[in-house]
Structure 1
């Protein structure tokens, strides 16, 4: 979301409510100065044709008009000139990395012990059948790369965490290349959550490098390999800078779909321009909603807005209802029922001590309920992505 923005007012504006602020004016077109006109034989114009410019007409009294700003023009890069290699930047300051404690397991020792006892009495055949069915849904073949966009109504609700969980889940179950792409503003947390120690190339860099003649092995040389498989493309080198623009996002995602069966996109928060574009062009959408009254209410507004689009996106949208605290004030079942009234599928993600601690996500440290919910969320998103032709 743009700094200082108000997503509620922007959504109301999209819904046609009077409370929304006025849409900012479009930038003026690029002014192109025409070539000098040939000499005109008519009286009064010969001097202009010969280089003797007549006096300009007098300006009517009043304040001088504000000068019109010129839009920035991107100079195309010469493909013959090699792209300078950016320096590798650590995702976490080494001095701070030493302060990280030992990660906690998502489930307590008592809960893990009780689960082990229950597994001894449970039906092994039923468990294997359930896991096989989920794996079949996640491993559905695709003819073209599928893009799954993850967004939210505001930051800090677990959007990057959900993106990392989905990327790792697809990496685990699928045997074809999977990419997790960060399309958030600078200083995003996706590389840290994916376990990347450092980043080098960004989306803006690849937008100038990618060509149709490149092979998968050429492309992966610019990506960050993920420890448990798959690839990561960050949005920046971890420095404060301009956020990704729509042109860069379109160029990168359209080019990379040739190489990756599934691309999970960690978008900026709604109603940012990149988030709108990602939601409009993705094959499936995951909206992350916090289990709070204001979070569920705002997400419901977004879902109602999606339903009013010319091509409703609700049929390919899944809501991930996240819990950031073990002590929730809002009833999670009532919150899920409120969101399901729009027709979307809601997958609750329970509170997990390992995720709440921050830092790199280790799938072996996740709680059982979190793993089950993540796999179900990935399967729901994949089903919707495959349905789109």
Structure 2
């Protein structure tokens, strides 16, 4: 893990012009046990000792050490309102028919050995063994640039290639879209719910019972049930990530946008960072400012950072090569995610329907992130 939390305050001043109290040093709240003695369900008159009279209604509150009735389990909620789900339509393939046909012809004419060698090298990076759980944090300087989409692509790519457990965790204080993009039909347990019941005695099989399985492999933990409520806070985020790191080899964290408190904490404690930059003039300019600021920090945060340059429209006028070269100048790798009709459609991501260039970019981005995450000791 990287050290120090001072850079969080500096980042907030750089981006907003104000100072704030860093969330990196927040204390973790004590968790309540999920277990409950059977006597707790009895009435006060039967559960109280014989020598003690029931306390009057106006008497002092019960002792904090006394058994408490456990909170009811949350109810499952659909990620997309059933009335809206019918409007999604049929998923589109990322590549049109003509491009898919042309790609097939190119594969026949190209060197199969070269393609296999490249894929083998990337797969080796993705499958690197880890001694402790690695955390890859994904964020951006503003919303609506594809941050959750990139997180979903990373989580599904790592879950497909790795043979050990992979978790994709939503740490967005707003109503994020990660569960929908990951293909979850319903969500039940959230980060806040799990933080209250996690205990050191729990096994992986116990923990996964509270998570959402992902089609390509791996697991998902949402930040909320898609309802307006209390936002995810720093103590809850720390409690969950510190506890779950011993169960999962890699955790991909879909953070809120910078300079949010949870995002700054996640970026400070992650082993690798992915900053999603939109392929627009203002998006590239703002991301470059963040990279320049990271380069001036005393610790090597820049050495564990990767930029995902995302194109949200096929009509982008900015030259992708020039934009990528501008972002590479501070010394970070840049992976370009091309426009993809399937991703632009919204809704669940179907890996088989992604454009070939998108799948290649997702594997490349995941390999770059894992290379940096494993490098940190």
**Aligned twin of 1:364:** 352
**Aligned twin of 1:14:** 13
**Aligned twin of 1:77:** 32
TM-score by length of 2: 0.84
Per-residue deviation at 1:156? Answer: 0.3
SS in 1 for 2:253: strand
The alignment covers a number of residue pairs equal to 332
SS in 2 for 1:351: coil
TM-score by length of 1: 0.82
Per-residue deviation at 1:304? Answer: 1.7
Q: 1:93-108 to 2 correspondence within 5 Å?
A: 93-108=81-96
What is the CA–CA distance in structure 1 between the aligned matches of 2:10 and 2:376, rounded to whole Å?
26
Which of 23, 45, 61 does residue 19 from structure 2 map onto?
A: 23
**Aligned twin of 2:156:** 168
**Aligned twin of 2:58:** none
CA RMSD of aligned residues (A): 2.0
**Aligned twin of 1:148:** 136
List per-residue Cα deviations over 1:93-132 (Å, max 9, x = no partner): 0011112111111001001111111111122222212111
Q: 1:27-66 to 2 correspondence within 5 Å?
A: none
What is the CA–CA distance in structure 2 between the aligned matches of 1:133 and 1:160, rounded to whole Å?
27
Deviates more, 1:123-132 or 1:313-322: 123-132
Q: Is the 8 A contact 1:104 1:354 kept in 2?
A: yes
What is the CA–CA distance in structure 1 between the aligned matches of 2:173 and 2:160, rounded to whole Å?
28
**Aligned twin of 1:272:** 260
Q: 1:334-373 to 2 correspondence within 5 Å?
A: 334-373=322-361
Q: Is the 8 A contact 1:186 1:239 kept in 2?
A: no
CA gap of 1:366–1:102, structure 2 versus 1, over 3 A, is same
Per-residue deviation at 1:186? Answer: 3.5
Q: Is the 8 A contact 1:106 1:353 kept in 2?
A: yes
**Aligned twin of 1:261:** 249
What is the CA–CA distance in structure 2 between the aligned matches of 1:175 and 1:25, rounded to whole Å?
40
CA gap of 1:370–1:76, structure 2 versus 1, over 3 A, is closer
Deviates more, 1:263-272 or 1:331-340: 331-340
Structure 1: tracts of 5 or more residues without a match:
1-9, 27-72
Question: More relative contact order in 1 or in 2 (CA 8 Å, sep 6+)?
Answer: 2
**Aligned twin of 2:218:** 230
SS in 2 for 1:241: coil
What is the CA–CA distance in structure 1 between the aligned matches of 2:287 and 2:226, rounded to whole Å?
29
What is the CA–CA distance in structure 2 between the aligned matches of 1:310 and 1:320, rounded to whole Å?
24
Structure 2: tracts of 5 or more residues without a match:
1-8, 23-27, 37-68
Q: Is the 8 A contact 2:13 2:19 kept in 1?
A: no
Per-residue deviation at 1:84? Answer: 1.8
What is the CA–CA distance in structure 1 between the aligned matches of 2:117 and 2:141, rounded to whole Å?
37
**Aligned twin of 1:218:** 206
Per-residue deviation at 1:312? Answer: 2.7
What is the CA–CA distance in structure 2 between the aligned matches of 1:276 and 1:22, rounded to whole Å?
15
What is the CA–CA distance in structure 2 between the aligned matches of 1:310 and 1:140, rounded to whole Å?
28
List per-residue Cα deviations over 1:249-307 (Å, max 9, x = no partner): 11100000000001000000000011111111000000000010100011011112222
What is the CA–CA distance in structure 2 between the aligned matches of 1:288 and 1:281, rounded to whole Å?
18
Per-residue deviation at 1:25? Answer: 7.6
Which of 312, 317, 320 does residue 329 from structure 1 map onto?
A: 317
What is the CA–CA distance in structure 2 between the aligned matches of 1:181 and 1:101, rounded to whole Å?
28
